[in-house]
Chain A
Amino acid sequence: MDTPVAGPDRDLLEAALAASPAAQTEIALLHDRTAVTRYANSEIHQNVWQENRRAAVRVAEGGATARVFTNDTTHAGLTRAAEEATALARLQAPNPRFHSLPAPDSGSMPAGDAPPAFFAATADCSPADRAATVGQIIDLARAAGYTAYGTYRSSSSRLSVVNSLGIRSQADYTTAYLKALVESPSGSGYADALSRDVGALDPQTVGAQAVAKCHLNHDQREIAPGDYAAVFEPNAVADMVRFPVTLGLGARAFQDGESFMAGKIGAAVTGPAVTLWDDPRDPRCMPLGIDAEGLPSVRVPLITAGIAQGVVYDSETAGLEPDRRSTGHAANPFDDVDYGTALPGHLIMPTGPDSVAELARRMGRGVLVTRFHYTHGPDRKRVVATGTTRDGTFWVEDGAIAYALKNLRFGMSVLDLLGSIQAAGQGKCCQDWWAANGMGSTYYHLPALWFGRATFTGVTTF
């Protein structure tokens, strides 16, 4: 829930703001605790915990800005950071792209309150809880004669943002993530679950899904590169949708002309079956009501029935267009990989009633993809993506899995891929391979999708 700043941090932040010599000052304070239990070869091999309090002090002075990070979050530490940031800003010429730090009315009006993002059960998850959960998956794999690998992560965070123009925002949130890769001598299977509430993660379900997938993945055959009908499970869809998200649906790429959306608002950019929006307040998609500037994060239509609708903004990019307000999508400066600009963070596509098996049945003949590994974009403007499948790629014949395939390299424009959507299936909350592993921050609620044409350009050896 996003609320005014409360607790002992309120006085700390107010005092630091008051002491700052800059014309404008913003302080974002992130206090988080993260625990990660990793397992491999059916044993826990890495088991870590970290607590950190970090502040990002951004100042504006004479049309220039500077930001100083520190994890000395005492009054003295914050004051020193503000003074250093001010000194750095004063050494610069004005930045013509910068207008002001945001004021409380710089943002958009949300349709309602943000749903709960903090769950005590997640925050209180203990080392023993994590070991027990991991143990359930190891035992499921062992009972099937397989070996288990994976990760169980739980974290709790408090983000507080204040600035000298009157912003006072705070959000508490938790994250729980469980993934299982189950391996036999002849193949592997994968499943994961992601939620704000650790109670929503069921290790029995995750483990059983990974085991079932592994059970199907053996005696892989090779198919020739080419165009095929395909069903992508939601994790695989996430690794495709990531490309329009990072390359085209943020304001900066849009304004620079690098985005496929540039100059296309109101025009078709992909097929009529494609509708995407970003909604940080949808309870299905890791909700968080504020952004790193303390502004409300709101729903933004991106593509509706294939027609470009808009992109997401932070205060800086909004300030570059007349009558534009921030949509509350400022990049989180504390992220491990900071994209440095506004991007969708809670991307949603409409789902359908069909299970993956039902989509495959309707497809009749084609490829079924569980997920992708290490995708990349060789052509930003045309949103071309490439990457290899892993942990379960199958050939579907007569509407059912006929046999497993050797992993395939995918390569085509994601806009063309999405343009060939035949049907959407049931959805799940997930992240792409990059974001799930700390190299991005977008969450998705995505369906499995049946595509009329997916281009595979190569085959690997396993």
Chain B
Amino acid sequence: MIDESILHAAIAAARRMGADYAEARAEDRLTETLQARDTAVERLTQDRDSGWGVRVAVGGGWGFASTADGSPAAAESIAAQAVAIARAGAGRRHAPVDLSAMPSERGSYATPPHTDPFAVPLPERIDLLLGALAAMRAGHSRVRVADGELQLVRLAKHFVNSSGADLRQTIVESGFSIGAVAVGDDGYSYRRSYNNMAQAGWEYITGLDLVREGGRVGREAGELVAAPWAPAGPTTAVVGPEMVALLVHESCGHPIELDRVLGWEAAFAGTSFLMPEMLGSFRYGSPQVNITADAVQPGGLGTYGWDDEGTPAQRTPIIRAGLFQGYLTSRETAPAIGQSSNGTARATSWGRIPIVRMTNLSLDPTPNGPSLAAMIADVEHGLYLDTPSSWSLDDKRMNFHFSVELCREIRHGELGQLYKAASFQDRTPLFWGRVAAVGGPQDWRLYGFPGCAKGEPLQSCHVAHGATPILVENLVIGQEG
């Protein structure tokens, strides 16, 4: 970790150079990624990334500069660079940046006690992954390629500012992905996969029984590649929690980011159909739909003590009984709707500024709601859909198209014929408005998404979504993907 004296020196230098406010953040990230294919390790990488940056407000504008150089001389030069950037941009602002509510908290956060995944001997990790790959290959004779990955992250952060804040956080994450590509007699190939990631230690990985799951993934890949195309047309659909998690991410998580609403991502990620005048009154979904952003949810990739502006992590209602109730906000964006930050400004590295990001945004389970099995049993004729394979949304997050890896017919309350390449397109509030049932807590799972992209330069953020199965009426399935 960069010595904290560098951070304080940079803040002092920026203040001397005219900064009205300065904050500095150092990060030290260790990532180990183990990638295997068929019977052997294909790539093993260890990434140590350490550096720091300073963000300053000068003359009404923001400037940010960052470096991996931890020398005392860098404190001066990086502060000077940030100040020059802020001054250059200040002339192109409508109003000075608002410095009225800068944080001054002091404290620390760490991932709760866990089995240190980095302490697990590498051969043990390799054996676990290769065991899952062997199970995929054994799962079906049509499996041509089996691949997988284990990823471990340890991140230490230190944030200080000119208002007296001093925050230290240490976060550990463990994740995996496995996938099987099966090739049919006609040369057509099809991929089936399984993945998840959590803020947790090695106990999370060993608790997943990846060998058993590998066997399932391989078997399903082999069956899916030879299965008929999913039937097109309207149907009653039970959507499994892996797919629901992505639906929450794409069709709810992004349009509730207030920076998108304000146009700050218009030229890249897009904007939103959820405008401020809709708060509290817009019917986003059916009365069964409740969605909550929860940055204190244990185990989530969006769990922390403070965001990267120094605002405490918190829990925010987003959708209540189908009505739109809240945005994800930051220190800079919240005043635009007359609110204070709800602590979702996150930066993905020492070289990036914090921007509004999802935390753990989850579809709340219905108390005493049906299990997945009970939901399926209640459908006379329909389809069961799970695991996303493709997703595409317009720049306001209104029109979407999703494809799933797995589709099964439901007939007389039982799962039947397997289909490949089911897809559906819809409009966000229409889709969520046709949700007739949301499952109970027994099948609720938290899914880690380590690749949520936004911001320029790109910030690929770790977020999570809790999800339970849903029953959707009149979902129109597309023709052949």
Q: Which residues of A contact B (CB under 8 A)?
A: 34-54, 64-72, 81, 84-85, 88-89, 91-98, 126-128, 130-131, 134-135, 138, 147, 149-151, 153, 179-181, 183, 256-258, 262-263, 333, 336-337, 340, 373-382, 384, 386-388, 390, 407, 409, 411, 437-439, 457-462
Contact = CB atoms under 8 A, between A and B. Distances in A.
B46 A381 contact: no
Contact of A47 (B68, B88, B122): B88
B68 A53 contact: yes
A93 B129 CA distance: 13
A69 B50 CA distance: 11
A381 B480 CA distance: 12
A379 to B, nearest CB: 4
Interface stretch (B207-215, B236-244, B375-383, B395-403): B395-403
Given A69-B48, A461-B399, A50 B67 contact: yes
Interface string B67-90: 111000000000001101111110
A379 B393 CA distance: 17
Contacts, number: 274
Contacts of A46: 62, 64, 264, 353, 355, 456
Nearest to A385: B392
Contacts of A128: 88
Given A390-B394, A409-B425, A50 B66 contact: yes
Given A69-B48, A93-B41, A263-B187, A378 B263 contact: no
Nearest to B264: A40
Given A49-B65, A91-B123, A97-B40, A374 B394 contact: yes
Contacts of B61: 44, 47
Given A149-B267, A376-B392, A51 B40 contact: no
A374 B66 CA distance: 30
Given A257-B144, A375-B392, A127 B89 contact: yes
B143 to A, nearest CB: 12
Interface of B: 35, 37, 39-51, 53, 61-69, 81-82, 84-89, 91-94, 122-123, 126, 144-145, 181, 183, 187-191, 262-270, 273, 351-353, 355, 389-396, 398-399, 401, 403, 421, 423, 425, 427, 451, 453, 456-458, 460, 478, 480-481
A462 B85 CA distance: 36
Contacts of B49: 54, 69, 71
A338 to B, nearest CB: 9
A69 B46 contact: yes
Nearest to A264: B187
Contacts of A89: 44
A69 B47 contact: yes
A91 B126 contact: yes
Nearest to B265: A40
B353 A48 contact: yes
B372 to A, nearest CB: 24
Contacts of B394: 373-374, 388, 390, 407, 409, 460
B147 to A, nearest CB: 10
A336 B93 contact: no
Contact of A45 (B67, B264, B269, B393): B264
B66 A49 contact: yes
B458 A336 contact: yes
Given A378-B389, A380-B191, A47 B64 contact: yes
Contacts of A439: 453, 458
B181 A92 contact: no
A256 B183 CA distance: 10
A382 B82 CA distance: 49
Output the residue of B50, B123, B269, B401 with the most chain A CB within 10 A: B401
A44 B92 contact: yes
A45 B264 CA distance: 8
Given A64-B41, A336-B460, A437-B458, 20 more contacts: A47-B89, A50-B67, A65-B43, A66-B45, A92-B44, A92-B126, A131-B89, A135-B91, A149-B266, A153-B457, A256-B189, A257-B187, A258-B189, A376-B391, A379-B403, A381-B189, A411-B401, A438-B457, A457-B425, A458-B401
7 contacts: A47-B88, A48-B65, A50-B65, A340-B35, A373-B395, A386-B390, A461-B273
B253 to A, nearest CB: 14
Contact of B267 (A43, A68, A130, A151): A151
Contacts of A179: 267
Contacts of B457: 34, 36, 48, 50, 153, 336, 438
B92 A39 contact: yes
Contact of B393 (A66, A381, A388): A388
Contacts of B187: 257, 262-263
Output the residue of A39, A51, A378 with the most chain B CB within 10 A: A378
Given A48-B353, A378-B423, A437 B43 contact: no
Contacts of A138: 92
A88 B44 contact: yes
A130 B81 CA distance: 14
Nearest to A84: B46
B46 A88 contact: yes
Given A149-B267, A457-B478, A67 B91 contact: no
